[in-house]
């Protein structure tokens, strides 16, 4: 390689191509594991990637959507920025679902797309698409590079924006000529953009006001979200919960920030959450929301949501405050900082009688729902017992990656998580097909952890081609398909709200084990309780990837359930 080095006034620059510069930018940002799919407009970059395999491992997914979900899985398991690469046109548009997913679930991700030569922009050239226009509403930031000189600064900004403040996806589109062109490269990381305030300053007066309200509360309740995990505030949060003695419930993306079995953890809020925290949301006197955004699946009918309570909202994104639920006190800032600041003001309490209310309602839920789900007496297998078994076999230490649907709700309800970042799922967007590629990314990002993907038979077939990655890159992911031969969640709604008209929800499935076989993945199919235990044991004991298909009851429903438009306290147990 012909590399010329020269010294300018204060930085050392090296003459190189735009594509080589991209490699150096990625290395400087610590992105040494990336996912993608080559094609015409990104070929100069892939050529450099080939020359720098010692510095960056590139994983070829089988579809660009798979690359985004793998990058998301990687990011969620590691807390680092995930990277996905695609070519122009269809390569770029195939990223959109994953980008939209990362946007709504605040996942740090940088996508790099190739673009046709700058002289062809706007000419409807082969594989030209306006990916900047298309991705604008679903990215935190995006930018098109047409001049090679822009590369270092724009890439530095991209990583800074993706990971700072409320994280999110950034897309950088680079024309082919900018990848080929040569320039003098120098890299400086970005830590400041004039118009961008990633983390609002903490207001001490509001901290004091909030502490007073919390200390005076008789029936306070915490609902925390992913903000605790994204802010790496697990310890501060645990200290806050334990000192205040306040029952704490989680949103789906907040799960595992403190262990499931923590005595102050009272379960999940929302549509298929636990009975007690949903009912008591409308019985508490102070609702302390931490790093969550009051999604409609969490609040049910807003007109009747926690109307009796004073709401204290800890939030990093000012646009989330008062968006859905009016906050009496808003505490802006990073949860790690705000929780640490409020802790000294918090009085040590236990709220014993109030806790008992949660326990009483849990007992009702256990009798009516949980017991039958995890310790069923009927013949057919339940999703709950499978999750329960996997959980026991992995000592609650695995990363459980779930797809979207009934199994997702069951998985999140019955997995017993011991450490943070143990569940990876598509929360806000509800993207079927997320789990398989996300599990691949999670396992590659956290190879020391067991990663189990739990997927429905519908979602599995949306990204089933990513088995090719497990095969080629030898990723020891454990895959469990809970097969009810239905698009189960939609079927459940059809049963409950559309008079059992099962429109387009029955699935005639292929022989999944044969498909796994074709990719040389060990596999087993079970349909009885006797087979289940040994099969799960075998799967977890395996050092390699393993595919387990479990035939479950066809028409089981997920309860509890807050019907759409109903109040959280009108949650149904059957």
Partner 1 sequence: MSEVKTFTVNIYTENNIGLLNRISAIFQRRKINIESLSASESEIDDVFKFIIVVNVTEEQMAKIQGQIERQVEVIKAFYHTDEETIFTESALFKIKSNLLFEEPQIQNIIKESQARIVTVNKDFFVLEKAGRRSEIELVHRELKPFGIMQFTRSGRIAVTKTEMPISTLLQRIEESNEVAFGKSQA
Report how far residue 283's alpha carbon sits from residue 419's, in angstroms, rounded to the nearest whole number: 30
Tokens of 395: 């000592």
Determine which residue in the list 141, 460, 519, 546 makes contact with partner 1, applying CB under 8 A.
141
Find the binder of partner 1 among 317, 416, 457, 556 (CB under 8 A): 317
Chosen residue from 10, 124, 191, 448 binding partner 1 by CB under 8 A: 191
Kindly state whether residue 140 participates in binding partner 1, applying the rule CB under 8 A.
yes
404 burial type by CB count under 10 A (0-12 exposed, 13-18 middle, 19+ buried): buried
Query: Which range, of 4-12, 90-98, 105-113, 129-137, touches partner 1 by CB under 8 A?
Result: 129-137
Q: Which of 133, 263, 534, 565 binds partner 1 (CB under 8 A)?
A: 133
Give bridge partners of residue 7 from the DSSP assignment.
12
Identify whether the C-beta of residue 242 lies closer than 8 Å to the C-beta of residue 216: no
Q: Are 160 and 190 in contact (CB under 8 A)?
A: yes
Please give the residues from 328 up to 347 whose contact with partner 1 meets the rule CB under 8 A: none
Select from 40-48, 176-184, 187-195, 279-287 the region that touches partner 1 (CB under 8 A): 187-195
Q: Does 238 bind partner 1 (CB under 8 A)?
A: no
> Given the complex with partner 1, which of 153 and 242 has the nearer CB atom?
153
**Residue 322 Cβ vs partner 1, minimum distance, rounded to whole Å:** 7
3 state DSSP class of 431: coil
Judge whether 127 counts as a catalytic residue.
yes
Q: Which stretch binds partner 1 (CB under 8 A): 7-15, 257-265, 313-321, 445-453?
A: 313-321
Edge-to-edge strands, sheet with 82-86? 57-60, 33-36, 82-86, 109-115, 169-175, 141-145
Binding of residue 368 to partner 1 (CB under 8 A): no
Q: Which residue has the tokens 């309200």?
A: 213
Residue closer to partner 1, measured from CB, 196 or 493: 196
Nearer to partner 1 (CB atom), residue 57 or residue 189: 189
By CB under 8 A, name the one of 12, 123, 197, 527 that touches partner 1.
197
303 counts as binding partner 1 under rule CB under 8 A: no
Please identify which residue in 195, 348, 377, 504 interacts with partner 1, judged by CB under 8 A. 195
Nearer to partner 1, 121 or 343 (CB): 121
Does 147 contact partner 1 by CB under 8 A?
no
> What is the CA 193 to chain-centroid distance, rounded?
27
Q: How far, in Å, are 54, 93, 154, 280, 462 from residue 356 at the CA level?
A: 58, 52, 54, 12, 44
Of 43, 127, 153, 323, which residue is the catalytic one? Answer: 127
Among 180, 196, 366, 493, binds partner 1 (CB under 8 A): 196
For the CB of residue 191, give the shortest distance to partner 1 in the complex, in Å: 6
Longest dimension (CA), the chain: 78
Nearest CA among 37, 88, 120 for reference residue 469: 37
Q: Whole-number minimum distance, CB 566 to partner 1, in Å? A: 22
CB of 521 to partner 1, least distance (A): 42
DSSP assignment of 326-363, as one string?
--SEEEES-HHHHHHHHGGGPPP---HHHHHHHHHHHH
For the CB of residue 323, give the shortest distance to partner 1 in the complex, in Å: 6
Distances (CA, A) of 445 to 70, 74, 225, 448: 10, 5, 22, 9
Binding segment toward partner 1, per CB under 8 A, in 101-109, 319-327, 379-387, 389-397: 319-327
Q: Which two tokens stand for residue 394?
A: 């992995």
* Beta-carbon count within 10 A of 564 CB: 12
Residue 270: name the closest of 252, 290, 247, 248 by CA. 252
Residue choice 132, 213, 343, 513 for contact with partner 1 (CB under 8 A): 132
Distance from C-alpha of 297 to C-alpha of 299, rounded to nearest angstrom: 6
Interaction of residue 193 with partner 1, rule CB under 8 A: yes
- Interface pick for partner 1 out of 137, 348, 379, 541 (rule CB under 8 A): 137
CA distance 285 to 300: 19
Measured from the CB atom, the residue of 145 and 290 that comes closer to partner 1 is: 145
- Report CA torsion sign: 438, 440, 444, 450: positive
Cα radius of gyration rounded to whole Å, the chain: 24
Structure-token pair, residue 198: 């990633």
Among 57, 126, 307, 498, the one annotated catalytic: 126
Any contact of residue 323 with partner 1 (CB under 8 A)? yes
Per CB under 8 A, does 239 bind partner 1?
no
Tell me if 294 contacts partner 1 by CB under 8 A: no
Binding of partner 1 at residue 215 (CB under 8 A)? no
Catalytic residue among 221, 271, 409, 489: 489
According to CB under 8 A, which one of 5, 11, 123, 136 is a site residue for partner 1? 136
Q: Site for partner 1 (CB under 8 A): which residue of 143, 310, 413, 491?
A: 143
Nearest to 223 by CA among 174, 272, 264, 182: 264
| CA 560 to chain CA centroid, nearest Å | 23
**Which residue out of 140, 176, 310, 443 is catalytically annotated?**
176
- Residue from 1, 3, 303, 319 in contact with partner 1 (CB under 8 A): 319
3-state secondary structure of 417: coil
First-to-last alpha carbon distance for the chain, in angstroms, is 69
Among 6, 10, 194, 379, binds partner 1 (CB under 8 A): 194
The answer to the question of residue 106 lying near partner 1 (CB under 8 A) is: no
Tokens of 136: 């604008």
Q: Which of 78, 215, 322, 542 binds partner 1 (CB under 8 A)?
A: 322
Contacts of residue 161, Cβ cutoff 8 Å, sequence gap at least 6: 140, 141, 168, 170, 193, 196
Report, in Å, the least distance between residue 218 CB and partner 1: 31
Burial 460-473, CB ≥16 within 10 A → b, else e: bbbbbbbbbbbbeb
The answer to whether residue 538 is catalytic is no
> What amino acid positions are annotated as catalytic residues?
64, 126-127, 176, 489
Residues that bind partner 1 (CB under 8 A): 132-133, 136-137, 140-144, 161, 191-197, 317-323
């Amino acid at each position: 390689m012909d590399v010329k080095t020269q010294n300018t006034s204060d930085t050392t620059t090296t003459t190189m191509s735009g594509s080589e510069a991209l490699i150096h930018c990625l290395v400087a940002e610590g992105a040494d594991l990336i996912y993608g799919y080559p094609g015409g407009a990104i070929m100069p970059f892939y050529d450099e990637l080939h020359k720098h395999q010692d510095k960056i491992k590139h994983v070829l997914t089988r579809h660009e959507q798979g690359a985004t979900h793998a990058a998301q899985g990687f990011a969620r398991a590691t807390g680092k920025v995930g990277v996905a690469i695609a070519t122009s046109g269809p390569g770029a548009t195939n990223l959109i679902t994953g980008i939209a997913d990362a946007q709504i679930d605040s996942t740090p991700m940088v996508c790099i797309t190739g673009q046709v030569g700058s002289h062809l922009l706007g000419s409807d050239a082969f594989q030209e698409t306006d990916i900047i226009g298309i991705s604008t509403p679903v990215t935190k930031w995006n930018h098109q590079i047409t001049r090679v000189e822009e590369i270092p600064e724009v890439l530095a900004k991209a990583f800074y924006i993706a990971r700072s403040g409320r994280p999110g996806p950034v897309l950088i589109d680079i024309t082919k000529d900018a990848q080929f062109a040569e320039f003098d490269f120098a890299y400086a990381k970005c830590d400041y953009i004039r118009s961008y305030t990633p983390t609002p300053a903490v207001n001490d007066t509001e901290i004091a006001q909030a502490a007073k309200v919390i200390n005076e509360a008789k029936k306070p309740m915490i609902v925390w979200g992913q903000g605790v995990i994204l802010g790496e505030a697990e310890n501060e949060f645990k200290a806050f919960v334990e000192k205040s003695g306040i029952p704490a419930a989680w949103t789906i993306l907040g799960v595992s920030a403190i262990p499931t079995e923590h005595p102050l953890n009272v379960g999940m809020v929302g549509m298929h959450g636990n009975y007690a925290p949903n009912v008591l949301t409308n019985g508490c006197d102070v609702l302390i929301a931490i790093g969550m955004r009051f999604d409609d699946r969490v609040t049910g009918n807003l007109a009747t949501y926690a109307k009796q309570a004073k709401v204290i909202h800890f939030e990093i994104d000012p646009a989330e405050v008062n968006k859905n639920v009016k906050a009496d006190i808003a505490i802006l800032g990073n949860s790690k900082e705000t929780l640490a600041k409020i802790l000294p003001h918090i009085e040590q309490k236990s709220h014993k009688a109030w806790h008992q209310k949660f326990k009483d309602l849990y007992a009702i839920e256990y009798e009516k729902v949980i017991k039958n789900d995890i310790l069923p007496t009927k013949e057919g297998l339940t999703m709950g017992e499978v999750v329960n078994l996997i959980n026991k076999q992995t000592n609650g230490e695995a990363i459980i990656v779930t797809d979207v649907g009934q199994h997702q709700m069951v998985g999140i309800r019955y997995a017993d998580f011991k450490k943070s970042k143990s569940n990876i799922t598509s929360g806000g967007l509800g993207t079927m097909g997320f789990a398989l590629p996300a599990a691949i990314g999670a396992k590659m990002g956290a190879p020391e952890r067991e990663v189990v993907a739990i997927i429905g038979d519908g979602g599995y077939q949306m990204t089933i081609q990513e088995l090719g990655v497990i095969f080629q890159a030898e990723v020891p992911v454990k895959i469990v398909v809970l097969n009810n031969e239905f698009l189960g969640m939609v079927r459940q709604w059809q049963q409950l709200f559309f008079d059992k008209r099962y429109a387009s929800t029955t699935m005639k499935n292929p022989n999944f084990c044969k498909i796994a076989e074709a990719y040389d993945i060990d596999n087993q199919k079970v349909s009885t309780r006797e087979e289940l235990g040994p099969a799960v044991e075998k799967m977890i004991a395996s050092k390699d990837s393993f595919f387990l298909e479990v035939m479950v009851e066809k028409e089981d429903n997920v309860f509890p359930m807050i019907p759409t438009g109903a109040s959280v306290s009108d949650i149904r147990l059957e």
